[in-house]
């Protein structure tokens, strides 16, 4: 588009005037500035000014969608803090002291959830309950109920909730995120000591070991070794005739936790959230890829804490994970109405696992910029 000549000359004249005036501008003659600004406005002067400024600001990074706002007002992240309606504004707690427990909870597990939550609240955690059975009111009699955040959606899984309600921008304040099932016994678990250990050991992703005498243990790696504080590897035969030893570098020999009680650092959660697929609600297969979120070597940054351990009751609940084994489920407690729905859930989980594996393969193939840090060197003897 060609501007009318007259207008263009005016524009130039005003631009020149701007340079002459800029001295006065900075001396602080606000009066003059406002005056001229008003007059320039009608000549499209502000446009020109903005263009030049944009050039110098182009390199500045602004969160998408906030480009039309001045930077200082942009509030990119949030948290799950409840705030008072009146009174003085809260002073911010120090970031490093804030942690989050998010737990999938059904009313049938009220007692065990109550025990877990009480322990975490006394360690100053923010607590979030994902009610997958839609029952919220029946929790109100517990003293802590009003201090927890309740999210309810019927028949949804822990991963469905986590993907939707634990976006990294929402939970960025929390140093550690405990994303737990409800069917856990925590008599031998101390929250403060656990936090201290994972900090000292530099564990970005961790879980408390499972007491092998009482728990349903799916993988040897997660079983408690009563002689150690933390372990990252096992040295024994695992299923399928495979052997884990000191040289193992892959899950489930090392660099792996199970999904019933994972603990994520801020950074590892930021990564893991992106890997959770919207539609694959059982999240099978995710555990084997979590090493990519370990912020470094998965054989070092992922570990099992033995000195603080839990019991995994392995109840077939929606919040809890459905076992991979095909053995008939425990008769004791049932959250799903019938065996058949359990079977259907398991079937769907296996289908999801296949889809996830294929998606991963496809993504690797299509992304030429991505380098696999865990790629095995080509086997000797072959090729």
Nearer Cβ to ligand NAG (177/311): 311
Q: Considering only CA atoms, which of 181, 129, 134, 182 is closest in space to residue 154?
A: 134
Q: What is the DSSP string of 191-223?
A: HHHHHHHHHHHT-SEEEEEE-TTTS--SSGGGB
**Least distance from ligand NAG to the Cβ atom of residue 342, Å:** 8
Half-sphere exposure of 93 (CA within 13 A, CB side): 16
Residue 226 within binding range of ligand NAG, rule CB under 6 A: yes
Residue 10 within binding range of ligand NAG, rule CB under 6 A: no
> Contacting ligand NAG (CB under 6 A), which of 23, 85, 246, 369?
246
Nearer Cβ to ligand NAG (99/314): 314
**Least distance from ligand NAG to the Cβ atom of residue 224, Å:** 4
Query: 357 with 350: CB under 8 angstroms?
Result: no
Residue 228 within binding range of ligand NAG, rule CB under 6 A: no
Residue 224 within binding range of ligand NAG, rule CB under 6 A: yes
Applying the rule CB under 6 A, the residues between 317 and 376 that interact with ligand NAG are 321-324, 336-337, 341, 353
SS3 350: helix
Distance between CA atoms of residues 184 and 312, nearest Å: 5
**Least distance from ligand NAG to the Cβ atom of residue 65, Å:** 34
Residue 9 within binding range of ligand NAG, rule CB under 6 A: no
Applying the rule CB under 6 A, the residues between 253 and 272 that interact with ligand NAG are 259
Q: What is the DSSP string of 95-121?
A: GGG-EEEEEEE-GGGHHHHHHHHHHHH
Residue 380 within binding range of ligand NAG, rule CB under 6 A: no
Q: Count residues contacting ligand NAG (CB under 6 A)?
A: 24
H-state helical runs in the chain = 5-27, 30-41, 45-57, 110-121, 158-165, 191-201, 266-275, 286-289, 298-301, 339-366
Q: Considering only CA atoms, which of 188, 177, 169, 207 is closest in space to residue 321?
A: 207
Nearer Cβ to ligand NAG (100/318): 318
**Least distance from ligand NAG to the Cβ atom of residue 309, Å:** 6
Applying the rule CB under 6 A, the residues between 45 and 74 that interact with ligand NAG are none
Place of tokens 């696999």: 372
Nearer Cβ to ligand NAG (56/247): 247
**Least distance from ligand NAG to the Cβ atom of residue 152, Å:** 12
Residue 231 within binding range of ligand NAG, rule CB under 6 A: no
Distance between CA atoms of residues 129 and 140, nearest Å: 12
First to last CA, the chain: 63
Nearer Cβ to ligand NAG (9/358): 358
Applying the rule CB under 6 A, the residues between 157 and 216 that interact with ligand NAG are 211-213
Going by their DSSP bridges, the two strands 230-231 and 302-312 should be labelled as antiparallel
**Least distance from ligand NAG to the Cβ atom of residue 80, Å:** 26
Nearer Cβ to ligand NAG (60/340): 340
> Contacting ligand NAG (CB under 6 A), which of 200, 245, 296, 359?
245
* 101 backbone dihedrals φ, ψ, rounded to 5°: -110, 120
What mask, x for binding ligand NAG by CB under 6 A, covers residues 285 to 304? x-xx----------------
Q: What is the DSSP string of 18-31?
A: HHHHHHHHHHT-HH
Which residue ranges make up the site for ligand NAG (CB under 6 A)?
A: 154-155, 211-213, 218, 224, 226, 245-247, 259, 284-285, 287-288, 321-324, 336-337, 341, 353
């Amino acid at each position: 588009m060609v501007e009318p000549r007259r207008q263009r000359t005016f524009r130039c004249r005003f631009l020149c005037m701007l340079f002459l005036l800029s001295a006065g501008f900075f001396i602080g003659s606000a009066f003059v500035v406002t005056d001229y600004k008003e007059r320039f406005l009608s000549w499209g002067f502000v446009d020109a000014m903005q263009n030049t400024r944009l050039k110098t600001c182009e390199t500045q990074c602004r969160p998408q969608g906030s480009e039309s706002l001045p930077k200082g007002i942009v509030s990119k992240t949030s948290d799950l803090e409840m705030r008072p309606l009146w009174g003085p504004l809260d002073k911010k707690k120090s970031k490093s002291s804030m942690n989050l427990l998010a737990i999938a909870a059904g009313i049938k597990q009220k007692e065990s959830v109550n025990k877990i939550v009480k322990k975490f609240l006394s360690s100053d955690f923010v607590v979030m309950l994902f009610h997958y059975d839609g029952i919220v009111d029946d929790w109100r009699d517990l003293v802590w109920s009003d201090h927890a955040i309740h999210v309810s959606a019927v028949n949804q899984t822990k991963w469905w909730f986590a993907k939707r309600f634990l976006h990294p921008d929402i939970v960025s304040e929390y140093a550690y995120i405990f994303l737990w099932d409800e069917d856990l016994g925590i008599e031998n678990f101390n929250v403060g000591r656990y936090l201290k250990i994972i900090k000292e050991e530099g564990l970005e992703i961790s879980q408390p070991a499972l007491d092998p005498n009482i728990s349903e243990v799916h993988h040897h790696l997660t079983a408690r070794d009563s002689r150690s504080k933390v372990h990252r590897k096992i040295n024994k035969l695992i299923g399928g005739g495979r052997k884990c030893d000191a040289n193992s570098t892959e899950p489930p020999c090392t660099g792996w936790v199970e999904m019933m009680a994972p603990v994520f650092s801020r950074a590892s959660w930021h990564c893991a959230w992106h890997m959770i697929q919207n539609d694959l609600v059982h999240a099978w297969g995710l555990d084997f890829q979590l090493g990519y979120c370990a912020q470094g070597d998965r054989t070092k940054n992922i570990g099992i804490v033995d000195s603080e351990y839990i019991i995994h009751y392995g109840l077939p609940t929606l919040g809890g994970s459905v076992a991979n084994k095909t053995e008939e489920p425990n008769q004791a407690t049932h959250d799903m109405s019938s065996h058949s729905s359990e079977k259907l859930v398991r079937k769907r989980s296996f289908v999801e696992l296949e889809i996830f594996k294929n998606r991963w393969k496809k993504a690797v193939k299509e992304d030429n910029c991505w380098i696999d840090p865990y790629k095995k060197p080509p086997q000797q003897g072959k090729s």
